[in-house]
């Protein structure tokens, strides 16, 4: 489990989970193509985050043509969540065999918006040195506990 600075398990709220998913959706449209591996990974991420599979599939179908999507970088409630998002974003970006400049620039803007500018270059360098397996198996998102929501 993801631990905070005091060693307590990190919980991720519904709002942060929504921002996480929306942010990754914006990321995969940056190269103007959604590859099969990206689709498969995003369906798995949606399921992990507790979102309906049909909703996730329909969202991806309309993703490239939807002009109403605001592409502002997500601002997370915790920098630890933002850092995990950036790492997962790099993995997802590489899942089609290459990371496009538009994807890198957008992830950089996420880092800047979440106060992680100082870590961005180190994360990018660390990622470029690492071996990349299937993105589903190494997602940082798996380390969070879901915050209980009441409606």
pLDDT in tens, 4-47: 444 446 788 999 999 999 999 999 999 888 888 889 999 999 99
In this prediction the pTM is 0.85
Measured at the alpha carbon of residue 16, what is the angle toward residues 8 and 25, in degrees to the nearest 5? 130
pLDDT in tens, 94-143: 888 888 899 999 999 999 999 999 888 888 888 877 755 545 557 888 87
Domain boundaries, the chain: 12-146
Give bridge partners of residue 146 from the DSSP assignment.
Answer: 12
Residue 67's pLDDT band (cuts 50, 70, 90): confident
Tell me, what's the pLDDT at 109?
96
Quote the pLDDT of residue 46: 93
Higher pLDDT, 148 or 49: 49
Instruction: Please report how many Cα atoms fall inside a 13 Å half-sphere around the Cα of residue 109, on the Cβ side.
Output: 12
Residue among 87, 117, 76, 116 at smallest CA distance from 27: 87
- SS3 state at 85: helix
pLDDT given at position 1: 40
């Amino acid at each position: 489990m993801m631990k905070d600075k005091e060693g307590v398990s990190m919980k991720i709220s519904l709002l942060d989970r929504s921002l996480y998913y929306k942010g990754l959706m914006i990321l995969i449209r940056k190269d103007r193509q959604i590859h099969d591996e990206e689709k498969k990974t995003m369906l798995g991420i949606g399921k992990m985050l507790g979102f309906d599979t049909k909703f996730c599939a329909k969202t991806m179908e309309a993703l490239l043509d939807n002009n109403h999507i605001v592409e502002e970088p997500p601002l997370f409630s915790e920098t630890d969540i933002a850092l995990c998002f950036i790492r997962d974003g790099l993995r997802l970006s590489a899942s089609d065999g290459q990371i496009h400049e538009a994807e890198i620039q957008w992830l950089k803007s996420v880092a800047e918006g979440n106060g992680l500018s100082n870590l961005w270059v180190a994360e990018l360098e660390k990622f470029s040195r690492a071996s990349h397996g299937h993105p589903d198996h190494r997602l940082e998102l798996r380390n969070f506990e879901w915050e209980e929501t009441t409606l």
